[in-house]
Chain A
Amino acid sequence: MADNAPIILFEGVSKWYGQFHVLRDIQLSVAKSERIVICGPSGSGKSTLIRCVNRLEEHQQGKLIVDGIELSDDVKAIDAVRRNVGMVFQQFNLFPHLTVLENLTLAPMWVGKMPKKEAEEKAMTQLKRVRISEQAQKYPLQLSGGQQQRVAIARALCLTPKIMLFDEPTSALDPEMINEVLEVMVDLAKQGITMLCVTHEMGFARQAADRVIFMDQGQIVEQNTPVEFFNHPKTERAKDFLSKILSH
């Protein structure tokens, strides 16, 4: 694979929920180390789009290639893709019956076949990276929302993924905790990992994104650099959307 080949490639990808056409002929090419913010009104297909990348959702038409592997029903291909793609969810989805440390070592030990000691060392490194190593022995529900989301980010990083997907990572947080999570994400963005982030945090988009993608009704309506997108949106739909989310 050439070095300048896209790490994620959507070619005419479509998906339906029953009769509802949720993704419509998506064309998208993501370069290695590119940081993309996806925004748009609710129901526009943003989350579905990134969930297709690690096959939490199946696309029904078109071609989707992630890190040189085409996604299909082939379980081996799916496993290979998931090893290289980390994901952070709106609701954190930490495992409540496991400690923070066990949450982090689970995948390295069972998927990566790493010895326990090595996995724990690696987990502690990641916990330090998200500045929460002192909470390693606690259970997720004993932490604040912001702390839980940082643990979730550390968990996703434990398999050293090439791509990180963020599905509205700050939407379920108290306003006072949003910044601690965004800071960790900005740090991560500086380190050259490929990022796809569904968020309405426009400050984060300006600070960390290379490209902003605006979606509506299952389509990519426009895409541009953050500066261009926020200052000179091309479509009426984007102008309307920005006026609503930036007005407060």
Chain B
Amino acid sequence: MADAAVFAPIESRPPPVAVRGPIGWVRSNFFDGWLNTLATLVTLALLLWLVPPLFGWSVLHAVVAPDNAACRAAIEHGACWGVVAEKGRLILFGRFPYEEQWRPLAACAILIALLVASCLRPFWKAWLAPLWVLVLALCFVLMRGGVFGLTPVETALWGGFPLTMALSVVSLAVAFPLAILVALGRSSKLPAIRAVCVMYVELIRGVPLISVLFMASFMFPLFMPQGTTIDQLLRVFVGYILFAAAYLAEVVRGGLQALPKGQVEAAQALGLTYWQTTRKIVLPQALRLVVPAIVNSFISTFKDTSLLTIVSLYDLTGALQLALGDANWRKFFLEGQLFVAAVYFVCCLALSRYSRWVERYLNTGMRRQ
């Protein structure tokens, strides 16, 4: 007990390097232990077995030209992408008049451009919201026509990718704010508001989307007074929005519940009003927590547009069925389906990659370093 022990701090040093060069990387990633090695070999064998015939079918022996005879000749061993070349415009634009198809094309291009711009940080400005209203109005005019010398095209003829796109974008743009209001309503102190929100969510969530679409397009007109009609497409849009919002509302509510109570109390103690607290403190944190679930909802909303076929509207998948109605090309439904699937896949992949960036962006401050 003579001297106090001396504390000698150990110098900090870099962590050990686990991987050395490409060979080291391959070894530690593919041949690390006998189980890993076995899995690698089995996977390799499967790839060897699958890839060459697939490559042969889809590329080497495929017929790209819209040549029906060539396609029929190659049917045993090659894909017929000719069906896409021949029917592409019908699949993409549905029954929209052939000569006027530049209009849906232009509308889609503008909408996609704005969509991409809205995803980028420098464009998050106050004028983005009015710009959206403007662009949606412009797209509607382009599609509907009847002004500026554009031939009128009734909404029943809208179809293909523009319809899929419009329904997804418009319904999410309207359903998302609606969902936030409903979720806030469900946690309201006022029993009447709470009851209305709970009833809405339970009612809509309790029925299949197909029933909602049926009711919107076939049953609703029966209850309308004689002589008044509301456009079928509009009715379907409203039904679709109400359906999407009910699901999104529950996702948002999950985020609201995960927020520690102390956050709201601190905001109240500072004198912030309910709406200030909601906007500045609650929503930024609650929505951040549920980004993956929101994107999940967005993706299923996007893909569920394919149910429109049920009520005789020809979205992307519906337009494909139209195209395959041609007896000459009916045999090549597989190639058509693959093409449509690829369109859906690209859109969904873009959405999910973007959501990962959003997550990282919103996570600023949540990490300790």
Contact = CB atoms under 8 A, between A and B. Distances in A.
Nearest to A138: B365
A107 interface: yes
Contacts of B271: 79, 82-83, 107, 111, 159
A97 B276 contact: no
A142 B369 contact: yes
B262 A91 contact: yes
A110 B272 contact: yes
A93 B266 contact: yes
B368 A107 contact: no
A82 B268 CA distance: 8
Interface string A74-100: 000001001101110101011111110
A99 B365 contact: yes
A140 B271 CA distance: 21
A97 to B, nearest CB: 5
**Which of A82, A83, A95, A140 has the most chain B CB atoms closer than 10 A to its own CB?**
A95
Interface string B177-196: 00000000000000000000
A56 interface: yes
A106 interface: yes
B120 interface: no
B58 interface: no
Contact of A110 (B260, B276, B285, B288): B276
A191 B367 CA distance: 37
A139 interface: yes
A69 interface: no
B280 interface: yes
A56 B268 contact: yes
B285 A139 contact: no
Interface residues of B, number: 25
Contacts of B263: 93, 95
B271 to A, nearest CB: 4
Given A97-B288, A110-B276, A140 B270 contact: no
Given A99-B365, A110-B280, A139-B364, A93 B262 contact: yes
Contacts of B113: none
B5 interface: no
Given A107-B271, A141-B365, A56 B280 contact: no
Contacts of A79: 271, 273
A111 B366 CA distance: 26
Interface in B229-282: 260, 262-263, 265-273, 276, 280-281
B262 to A, nearest CB: 4
Interface in A134-149: 139-142
Interface string A154-197: 01100100000000000000000000000000000000000000
Contacts of A91: 260, 262
Given A89-B265, A95-B266, A106-B280, A141 B368 contact: yes
A140 B270 CA distance: 17
Given A107-B270, A111-B270, A97 B285 contact: yes
Nearest to B261: A93
Nearest to A140: B365
A14 interface: no
**Which of B260, B270, B271, B284 has the most chain A CB atoms closer than 10 A to its own CB?**
B270
A48 interface: no
A85 B265 CA distance: 13
B99 to A, nearest CB: 53
A96 B268 contact: no
Interface string B325-351: 000000000000000000000000000
A199 interface: no
B31 to A, nearest CB: 41
Given A89-B265, A91-B262, A96-B285, A139 B270 contact: no
A206 B280 CA distance: 40
Contact of A86 (B269, B365, B367): B269
Contact of A56 (B260, B269, B366, B368): B269
A140 B364 CA distance: 11
Contacts of A110: 272, 276, 280
Interface in A13-47: none
Contacts of B367: 141
B270 A98 contact: no
Contacts of B284: 97
B266 A89 contact: yes
B365 A139 contact: yes
Nearest to B363: A97
A140 B280 CA distance: 16
Contacts of A156: 269-270
Nearest to A84: B271
B366 A97 contact: yes
Contact of B365 (A96, A106, A111, A155): A96
A54 interface: yes
A89 to B, nearest CB: 6
Interface of B: 260, 262-263, 265-273, 276, 280-281, 284-285, 288, 362, 364-369
The 9 closest A-B pairs by CB, nearest first: A139-B365, A93-B266, A107-B270, A93-B262, A82-B271, A87-B269, A111-B271, A83-B271, A97-B284
14 contacts: A56-B269, A82-B271, A83-B271, A93-B266, A94-B266, A95-B285, A96-B365, A97-B364, A97-B365, A106-B280, A110-B280, A141-B365, A142-B369, A159-B271
Given A89-B265, A96-B366, A98-B365, 14 more contacts: A79-B271, A86-B269, A87-B266, A89-B262, A93-B266, A95-B267, A97-B284, A97-B288, A106-B272, A139-B364, A140-B365, A142-B368, A155-B270, A159-B271
